[in-house]
Structure 1
Amino acid sequence: MAKFEESLKKLENIVAQLEQGELSLEDSLKLFEQGVGLSAECKQELDAAEGKVQMLIKQRDGTHKLEPFPTAGE
C-alpha cells in the first residue's frame, strides 16, 4: 500500500475511534495529535502529486494544449 493510502487509512481509523466517544480525554487528545500529523502528511503527499499533474487547456481554436499544473508557489 502506498504511503498516502496507508496514512489516510490510519487517519480514518482515528476519526472512527474519536467519533465513538468512548475514549478518555487523554487518549482522545493523543489520537487527535496523531490525526493532525497524519493529516499534514496526507496534505504534503497531495501537494507533491498536484505539482506533477498536467492540465488540458482548451485553446480558442478548439485544440488542447498540455500545460504544467500551477503549484502553490506560482
Structure 2
Amino acid sequence: MTIVYDRGFNLNEWFVIILSITGLILAWRFRNRFSAKELIVYFMYGFFIGTVFDHIIGIAPFDFYDINDSSLYELTDF
C-alpha cells in the first residue's frame, strides 16, 4: 500500500492555526473569570490529552494515521 502525503500548506494547517487563535481569544475574553494559573492548567491539560491520544492511535498495533502531511514531526504538530 502506497501512502500519499500532502506537500502543501493547506486546510489542515489553517485548521490548526485558526483553532489556536480562537482558543487564545476565548482565554483573553474570559481572563476575568479564570485566574492565569487556571488558564495555564487548562491549556496544558488540553495539550496533554491531545498529544497522548494522538500517539495512542498513531502507534502499533493501531497505526491509524500519520500526523499532518508526513510521517515526520513538523512545527504544526506541536
Q: Could you say which TM-score interval applies, normalised by the shorter chain? A: 0.3 to 0.5
Structure (1 or 2) with the greater helix fraction: 1
RCO greater where, 1 or 2, for CA within 8 Å and sep 6 or more?
2
Structure (1 or 2) with the greater strand fraction: 1
Q: Which has the larger radius of gyration?
A: 1
